[in-house]
Amino acid sequence: MIDKLIAQDFNEEVVKSTIMVTKDTFVDTFGGNLDSWLTKKLVDTYIEIWKEDPWNENWKSKDVQMLLNDLLNTRDFVLLLQLGTASYNDAQNQIASFTWAYYVNKNDLLKIAGFDSDTIYGESGRGFMTALGNIFNNDPKVAYLAELGTKREFRHNYNAWNLSVGLLSILQKRGYNKVVLRTDVRAVGAKRLYKKLGFVDLGAKDAVHQNRTYWMLEI
Ligand SMILES: CC(C)(COP(=O)(O)OP(=O)(O)OC[C@H]1O[C@@H](n2cnc3c(N)ncnc32)[C@H](O)[C@@H]1OP(=O)(O)O)[C@@H](O)C(=O)NCCC(=O)NCCS
């Protein structure tokens, strides 16, 4: 699957020029602290992108930093950043795109989807489990692709495509068999991109965000 994706429209040079951050490379890339120039840029980009419709989220810098810190310290976590300059006059590099994924088991995914031990036995919980089907059978290694975003001025340049293919390829090399993500039914661009990558909408509905469903790709 990954080989097929790489053969299609994939620009290896772009992915070579991306920054990969994991727990092991955190010190080299972010200077080991979340106050670095790069993290500040990432946090600002994150806040800006998730303010958009249909996400309408209002993140605080501190909470994004805490989220990153937590993921870097507790998970098998991979973050890819694509730097870029928006115009010739723009001397400073910006974060054009970012994406990240991390290891999840079934309970992690239920928690992400907003279910706890009470709600999972209710109607929506049963529906969610049915839609997920048997994706956790036979002990697969599953990654949750939690974030993907491109700053407005960098869109339609295949940044998200290249980062996604790069991330899937890295996850495959790290032994993952499946990748799960959640997107909004109204996020037309994101859905089109995920379909092109081979993801399938499982139709499993989030307990908190009713317009968001879970998608899966075997890699
Ligand atoms: C979705 C998003 C990440 C795409 O970023 P991008 O860097 O512009 O995407 P790419 O240039 O790599 O596009 C690749 C493919 O995705 C699809 N696509 C991307 N943006 C699209 C849009 N606005 N409308 C329709 N299709 C779109 C297309 O299929 C495109 O390929 P094509 O142009 O050959 O048809 C970006 O619009 C974004 O950050 N949106 C807000 C955040 C978001 O929704 N993230 C996903 C959350 S799950």
CATH of the domain at 158: 3.40.630.30
Give the pLDDT of residue 118.
85
Give the pLDDT of residue 12.
58
What is the number of the ligand 1 atom nearest to the C-alpha of 150? 39
What is the number of the ligand 1 atom nearest to the C-alpha of 181? 48
What does residue 56 show for φ and ψ, rounded to 5 degrees?
50, 45
Residue 53 Cβ contacting ligand 1 at under 6 Å: no
Give the pLDDT of residue 148.
98
Q: Which of 150, 199, 212 to mutate to test the pocket of ligand 1 (most atoms within 8 A of CB)?
A: 150
What does residue 104 show for φ and ψ, rounded to 5 degrees?
-135, 145
Distance of CA 217 to the CA centre of its chain: 13
What's the pTM value of the predicted model, to 2 decimals? 0.91
Return the HEC string of 98-134: EEEEEEECHHHHHHHCCCCCCHHHCHHHHHHHHHHCC
Residue 161 Cβ contacting ligand 1 at under 6 Å: yes
Residue identified by tokens 């992108």 is 49
Give the pLDDT of residue 35.
65
How does pLDDT run along the chain (219 residues), one tens digit per residue?
Answer: 656 655 555 555 555 568 888 888 777 676 667 667 788 889 999 999 999 999 999 999 999 999 998 998 889 999 999 888 766 666 567 889 999 999 999 999 999 999 998 888 888 899 999 999 999 999 999 999 999 999 999 999 999 999 999 999 999 999 999 999 999 999 999 999 999 999 999 999 999 999 999 999 999
Q: Which domain holds residue 159?
A: 2-218
Residue 126 Cβ contacting ligand 1 at under 6 Å: no
Total domains in the chain come to: 1
Give the pLDDT of residue 150.
97
| Rounded-to-integer distance, Cα 66 and Cα 74, Å | 12
* Nearest protein Cα to ligand 1, atom 23: 189
